[in-house]
Amino acid sequence: MKRLWEHIGQTNSASAAYLVAGAVWFFVGASYGLTTAIHLVSPELFNNIPWLVFGRTRPIHVNTVIYGFVVSAGVGAALHYVPALLKTRLWSERLGWLSWLFWQAAVVSGPICFSLGITQGREYAEYTFPFDCCVMATLLLLLVNLVMTVANRTEKSLYVSVWYILGMALWTAGVYPIGNVMWNPPSGALPGLLDSVFLWFYGHNLVGLLLTPAALASAYYVIPRICKTPLYSHTLSLVGFWALAAIYTHIGGHHILQAPIPNWLKTLSVVDSMAMIVPVLTVLVNLWLTARGRFGMLWNDIAGRWVLVGTLWYLVTCIQGPIQSLPSVQKITHFSNWTIGHAHIAVLGFSGFIALGAMWHVLPAVAGREIWSRRLLHIQFGLMMFGLAGFFAVLTTAGLIQGHAWYNGETEYRVLPEIAPYMALRAMLGLFIIAGALLGLINVILTFTRGPRLAPPVEIVRPAPTGQGVAL
Ligand code: HEM
Ligand code: HEM
């Protein structure tokens, strides 16, 4: 017991716990995606096996990949680089572990409770009340830990990655209880249409105020470090930060344009979906100008490659996003696989790729060991890139077929055979992503157990390059 207590007090141990969890949930979550995809290829296959039917595996898949994989990996990296940027130690590793425990309790409740049919049944808000409390406990514990780390810093300036991570914890702690209607524990819902307004205020901010800041914080950390150059503009980075807070927060209505919500809410959400160009471009221009002339360095570093490609997926996602916010476009695309294609390039391509890049970048310092196999990392990247690009192509095409067929009044039983080959292709392409997840998990475990030890021991608190007089 004493040894365990000592172990969880060691520098970087909480970061390591989150990173390992991220790698495990990536594999588990993606595998549930395959089960879900198989159901869409052959709906009879899982008949009479309630815990394997689409309605149960889909929310397990979605919640596990978002909360389990992307957030765990992103937070794991942040618990390493936030103290490093502030030239101090994490205020409390043990508090970090406690937050980890609550988070894992919530994530693990997905496969267990949803398999048994215990769910709030609201998309992205399926966790039941006790597990909503676990999510909130994690966010508040992280917030305390990060704020205290900031308070104890020896570096005067707050680099933008620290802003984003603090923003992520603070904003999500505010948005989560509202979207999950936590003041009404039995249902976690409101009556009528108002419920979808609350749900999508939250659902949208889940990607905008949780996944996006986590990914951008990591990109802002990794790119200048690998390129060994200062950030192009600190001012621009803060413009992007505040623009995200000002614009992203209230455009969730674009998810329910087909519903009879007030017109002003629809207009606001469509107009400001267009305005998203400001936070998106300021970030991308800043990151790419930082890497100008040094893209080769980013590409040749496998962690940097993940982050670089993640920024490209961000661009594609955020070109597609405003376009599909237009009612004239959405009347074709809304009830179709087009949206599923967008969701995968966004959550996996943008936030997932950057989370993986950040994970591989900090792992040697966190584990005190070299990555077990860099070759395996290249293979993992290739598999995932192929699987995801294939997903995007297949789902977008299937979506356009479905959307146009339904728009033209075609009956569903005639449309389904047309998209059947695409559903089969998606399931097959998923195998590439799952194989990538498995290789990644093996590599993480072997790095911790068998990776060549780094000598001399990694200096955890270290100076970093500076940009425009601001410490990085
Ligand atoms: C870690 C990687 C992955 C991430 C981050 C991810 C993310 C997501 C998200 C966010 C959704 C919800 C989409 C929406 O409602 O618009 C979703 C749905 C889905 N995903 Fe994934 N996914 C991943 C891997 C996979 C894999 C490997 C497969 C298949 C083998 C898969 C198959 C599915 C299916 C079938 C759905 C439900 C689609 C529907 O409702 O029609 N996913 N995924
Ligand atoms: C400029 C930025 C973006 C805009 C304007 C935008 C717009 C949209 C719209 C309009 C939809 C709903 C489509 C429909 O139901 O017909 C949607 C869905 C979605 N978006 Fe985005 N998006 C943006 C960026 C992102 C990012 C950065 C992420 C992830 C990190 C993301 C993740 C998702 C997911 C997961 C869904 C599926 C939600 C569902 O289950 O229905 N989006 N987006």
Got the DSSP string for 173-189?
A: HHHHHHHTTTTSTTTS-
Token match 């890497």: residue?
291
Token match 């966004």: residue?
346
Q: Which residues pair with 467 in a beta bridge?
A: 470
Instruction: Mention every residue, 6+ apart, whose C-beta is less than 8 A from residue 407.
Output: 331, 332
Point out the ligand 2 atom lying closest to the alpha carbon of residue 351: 30
How much distance in Å is there from the Cα of 93 to the middle of ligand 2? Answer: 35
pLDDT at 469 over 90: no
Whole-Å CA distances, 472 to 87, 212, 224? 10, 20, 8
How much distance in Å is there from the Cα of 254 to the middle of ligand 2? Answer: 9
pLDDT at 437 over 70: yes
Point out the ligand 1 atom lying closest to the alpha carbon of residue 66: 5
The helix (H) or strand (E) run that includes residue 467 is strand 466-467
pLDDT at 352 over 50: yes
The helix (H) or strand (E) run that includes residue 86 is none
One-letter amino acid for residue 148 of the chain: M
Q: What is the pLDDT of residues 52-71, one digit of tens each?
A: 999 999 999 999 999 999 99
Q: What is the pLDDT of residue 468?
A: 43
Q: What is the pLDDT of residue 456?
A: 60
Q: How far is CA 357 from the centre of its chain?
A: 12
Ligand 1, pocket-test mutation among 53, 65, 335, 396, most atoms within 8 A of CB: 65
Average pLDDT over residues 218-241: 97
What separation, in Å, do the N-terminal and C-terminal C-alpha atoms of the chain show? 38
User: What b-and-e string marks burial along 28-63, b requiring 16 or more CB atoms within 10 Å of the CB?
Assistant: bbbbbbbbbbbbbbeeeebeeeeebbbebbbbbbbb
- In 184-333, which residue ranges form alpha helices assigned H by DSSP? 194-205, 212-227, 234-247, 263-275, 277-290, 295-300, 302-324, 327-333
For residue 47, name the pLDDT band (cuts at 50, 70, 90).
confident
Distance CA 207, CA 123 (A): 13
pLDDT at 190 over 70: yes
Average pLDDT over residues 401-406: 96
Distance CA 252, CA 250 (A): 6
pLDDT at 464 over 70: no
Q: How buried is 77 (Cβ within 10 angstroms: 0-12 exposed, 13-18 middle, 19+ buried)? A: buried
Contact 119, 128 (CB under 8 A): yes
CA nearest to 254, candidates 240, 274, 281? 274
Helix axes 353-367, 212-227, angle to 10 degrees: 60
What DSSP letter does each residue of 36-79 carry, written as one string?
Answer: HHHHHH-TTTTTT-GGGSHHHHHHHHHHIIIIIIIIHHHHHHHH
Q: What is the pLDDT of residues 249-307, one digit of tens each?
A: 999 999 999 999 999 999 999 999 999 999 999 999 999 999 999 999 999 999 999 99
pLDDT at 462 over 70: no
Residues of the chain with pLDDT > 70, as a percent, come to 96
Q: How far is CA 164 from the centre of its chain?
A: 14
Does the 2-471 domain belong in CATH 2.60.40.2130? no
Helix axes 374-407, 337-344, angle to 10 degrees: 160
Residues of the chain with pLDDT > 90, as a percent, come to 93
Average pLDDT over residues 241-246: 97
- Other C-beta atoms closer than 10 Å to the C-beta of 103 total 25
Q: What is the pLDDT of residues 355-395, one digit of tens each?
A: 999 999 999 999 999 999 999 999 999 999 999 999 999 99
The helix (H) or strand (E) run that includes residue 211 is none
DSSP structure class, residue 90: -
Ligand 2, pocket-test mutation among 339, 350, 392, most atoms within 8 A of CB: 339
Q: What is the pLDDT of residue 471?
A: 40
How much distance in Å is there from the Cα of 141 to the middle of ligand 2? Answer: 29
Give the torsion sign (CA, 102, 103, 109, 111). Answer: negative
Locate 303 and state its tokens. Answer: 């962690």
Q: What is the pLDDT of residues 130-163, one digit of tens each?
A: 999 999 999 999 999 999 999 999 999 999 999 9
Helix axes 263-275, 302-324, angle to 10 degrees: 140
Instruction: Mention every residue, 6+ apart, whose C-beta is less than 8 A from residue 399.
Output: 333, 336, 337, 338, 339, 340, 341
Q: How far is CA 462 from the centre of its chain?
A: 28
Average pLDDT over residues 24-33: 98
- Give, using CA atoms, the residue closest to atom 23 of ligand 1: 30
Q: What is the pLDDT of residue 288?
A: 98
Contact 198, 190 (CB under 8 A): yes
Q: How, if at all, do strands 466-467 and 470-471 pair?
A: antiparallel
pLDDT at 459 over 90: no
CA nearest to 40, candidates 425, 433, 458? 425
Q: Which residues line ligand 2 (CB under 6 A)?
A: 123, 207, 211-212, 254-255, 273, 276, 280, 317-318, 321-322, 324-325, 330, 333-334, 339, 342-343, 346-347, 350-351
Locate 415 and state its tokens. Answer: 């449309």
How much distance in Å is there from the Cα of 344 to the middle of ligand 2? Answer: 10
- Listed by start position, the domains of the chain span 2-471
The helix (H) or strand (E) run that includes residue 135 is helix 129-151
How much distance in Å is there from the Cα of 230 to the middle of ligand 1? Answer: 37
Locate 301 and state its tokens. Answer: 């570093």
